[in-house]
Amino acid sequence: MTDEYKDKLERGLQYQDFVTEKLYEKGILTITYASKKYQIKYGENKAGIEIKFDDKCKRTGNLYIEISEKSNKNNPYFVDSGIYRDDNTWLFIIGDYSNIYILSKIQLQKVHREKKFIEINNETSNGFLLPISYAKEQALIIKEILVE
């Protein structure tokens, strides 16, 4: 695992903790699985909510929706992740420390299959850019929580 990957992972885990606290304040318990074994078998948490940190969304106006990944660029194959991971996930929470967007996994898969948006393929992650404005117009956002 590269230092860059470790740093990104740690920032993601901190954001996950931040969102977990915000959800708890609203009466939503996530009960996060800590081990890789349980995350692979069941999902990120008992509630079926995938939490992703997108520190570029405010600057770009887009949400990066991941579809496949690999932990190291030297791995030959990508594995399904994000909206195509086969687990208990039904909701995706993505955003930054200003706005938290809650999106439906099924709706995101549908949008991806329609191929309306820019696909991003890099060394360790594949996905697409979902404009925040489009998500709002199409009612993909179930709730936007403004963070104080």
CATH of segment(s) 3-146:
3.40.1350
Mean pLDDT, 10 residues at a time, the chain of 148 residues: 80 92 88 87 89 94 95 88 92 89 92 94 94 82 64
- Output the pLDDT for position 141: 66
For the chain, report the end-to-end CA distance as a whole number of angstroms: 35
- The angle subtended at Cα 13 by Cα 7 and Cα 136, nearest 5°, is 110
Looking at residue 73, the DSSP 8-state letter turns out to be: T
Tokens of 103: 């999106």
- Output the pLDDT for position 148: 58
- Output the pLDDT for position 42: 86
Residue whose C-alpha is closest to residue 125's, from 86, 88, 72: 72
SS3 content of the chain, % helix, strand, coil (to 5): 35, 30, 35
Cβ neighbours for 24, distance < 8 A, ≥ 6 positions apart: 30
Say if residues 97 and 146 touch (Cβ distance below 8 Å).
no
SS3 (DSSP) at 108:
helix
- Output the pLDDT for position 115: 93
**CA-to-CA separations, 11 to 49, 74, 91, 97, 115, in angstroms, rounded:** 18, 23, 21, 12, 29
- Output the pLDDT for position 118: 95
- Output the pLDDT for position 64: 96
**Identity of the residue numbered 24:** Y
